[in-house]
Amino acid sequence: MATPDPNSHKSHGSVLVEQAANLTAACVQWSRSDFEDPARQVAVRDEIAAGARRILLETATPTELMWSQLVNLYALISLRTLSQHGVLQALSSEKGISAEELAEATGMEVSLIRRLLRPLTATQFLSQGVESGLYHHTKASQAFCVAPELHVMLDVLSEHTLLSLGCLPEYLAERKSASEPQDQAYNPYTWSRGQDGTSVWQVMAENGELARFQAGLNPGNKEVFKPTGFFDFGALAEGDDARDRAILVDVGGGIGAILTSIIEETPALQAVASRCVLQDIACPIDQARSGGKLPVGVQTMVHNFFQEQPVKGPKAYYLRRILHDYSDAKCVEILSYLTKSAAADTKILISEVVDPLTNNESDIPMVCTDVIMLNIGGKERSEEQFGEILKAAGLELVKVWRGPSDCLIEARLAVKNNVA
C-alpha cells in the first residue's frame, strides 16, 4: 500500500511559500554564523542550494525544465569558445563593455559574440545591463580571470568528456550491453576516437592530450582534494622500528607533488624522509629526479603497480587517486600485490573520494569526477564498494578518515592473512 504524501493536500502556492520560508531561514543562518565547524558550513550551503532548486522546480513547467538542462550545456560550449578568444579577459566588471567593443578587442564577429553570450547571461554567469546592453562580470566569471587555472581545468575536462560521453547512448547500443565500462582499453573514450583495444593513457599520450589532461587536473586536485589535515601521517614515524624499514611508500605517486606536500606538512616525517619512497613508471620518476623538488633523502623507484611490490613490510603503502581510474577487478589486482608484500602491522592508505550515495551541491566535484572516470573505465566508489574490493584482495577496512572532499581509507591485512 502506497504511503500517503503528507503534502498532497497542499496547493502549489502553499508549498512554494513553505519552501521560500525554509530557504530564507537557511540564508539567515548563513549570514549570522561564523562557521567554526566547516562541515556545518557545507551543510548550510547545501540547504540553500537545495532550497533554491526546489523553488525553481516548483515554478517551472516540464518544457522549461528541459530547456534549463540544455542551456547549461550550451553555456559550457559558449564559455570555452569565448574564453579561447579572450572575451572574458576583455570584459570590465566596473563600467561594462558592449558587444562592438568586445569584437574590436578580440577580432570576433559582433553577431557571433552576442549569440554566444546569450547562454551565459541567461544562466547569470555574466550580467547584462537592461537599458545599456553592456556586459559585466559576475563573481563566477571574474573567478576565471583571477584564477586562470580554472579555465584550463574546465577546458581540458570538458574536452576530455564531451566528445565521447555525448555519444554514450550510441556507445552502449553498439556494445549491446547497458553496463558500466570495465576496461581502460574498451570504454567511451577509446571508442569515440576509433582506438578500442588501446589503453586510454596510450591514446592520450599519442594525441597529445595526456599532458593537458594532467595539467587540467592538477589545479583542482590541489585545491579540492587536499591530502592532509584529517589523518595523522606523523604517527607512522613513531615506534622503535628498524632504521632500514620504509615508513611511507607512495605507490603510483607521479612526480612526487603529493608525497612532498605530506612530508612538508608533517614535521615527524621530515626527520625520516630517507625512509619514504616514491614509486611510479619511468617517465614521472625521471621528472621527479630531475625536478629537484622532492624533500632531501626521499627514495625514488621505478615500479609498475601491476607487478610484485619490491618494498616489503613498510609502515604504510599510500595510493592517492589511483583506484578510481580502474575497474573493480583491476583494483583487486593492484591491492593484491600490496597484500603479498605487507607486514602484519602495515597500513594500506587509500586516498579517494568516497561516494555518499545521495548527493548534494557540495558533492558536485565528486559527481563530475565520477563521470570523467566512467569515460575511461574507472569509477568513484562508496564505502561499501571499497570494502568489497579490499576483502577480495585479502584486506579489511579499518576506518574511513573523512576530509573536506577526499577521504583516507585505512586498511590492513585481513585476519586470515595477518599472521605474524
Q: What percent of the chain has pLDDT over 90?
A: 65
pTM, full prediction: 0.82
Band the pLDDT of 40: cuts 50, 70, 90. confident
Query: How high is the mean pLDDT of the chain?
Result: 89
The continuous run of DSSP H or E covering 389 comes out as helix 383-392
For residue 93, pLDDT over 80 is answered with no
* Chain position carrying cell 595526456: 210
For residue 243, pLDDT over 50 is answered with yes
Cα 249 to Cα 59, 190, 239, 310, 366, distances in angstroms? 54, 32, 17, 11, 26
For residue 367, pLDDT over 60 is answered with yes
pLDDT of residue 3: 54
pLDDT of residue 305: 97
Of 58-67, 102-111, 362-371, the least confident: 362-371
CB 316 within 8 A of CB 235: no
**Amino acid at position 315, single letter:** K
More confident residue, 207 or 168: 168
pLDDT of residue 215: 61
For residue 120, pLDDT over 80 is answered with yes
Band the pLDDT of 220: cuts 50, 70, 90. very low
pLDDT of residue 225: 59
DSSP secondary structure, 272-337, as one string: TGGGEEEEE-HHHHHHHHHH--SPTT-EEEE--TTS--SS-S-SEEEEES-GGGS-HHHHHHHHHH
Cα gap 202→207, rounded to integer Å:
9
- Compute, in degrees rounded to 10, the torsion defined by CA atoms 203, 208, 211, 212: -110
* Chain position carrying cell 530547456: 67
pLDDT of residue 9: 46
Closest CA to 20 of 60, 58, 46: 58
For residue 387, pLDDT over 90 is answered with yes
Band the pLDDT of 10: cuts 50, 70, 90. low
For residue 33, pLDDT over 80 is answered with no
Q: 192: burial class by Cβ within 10 Å (0-12, 13-18, 19+)? A: buried
Question: C-alpha cell of 54?
Answer: 526546489
CA angle 135, 136, 137 (to 5 degrees): 135
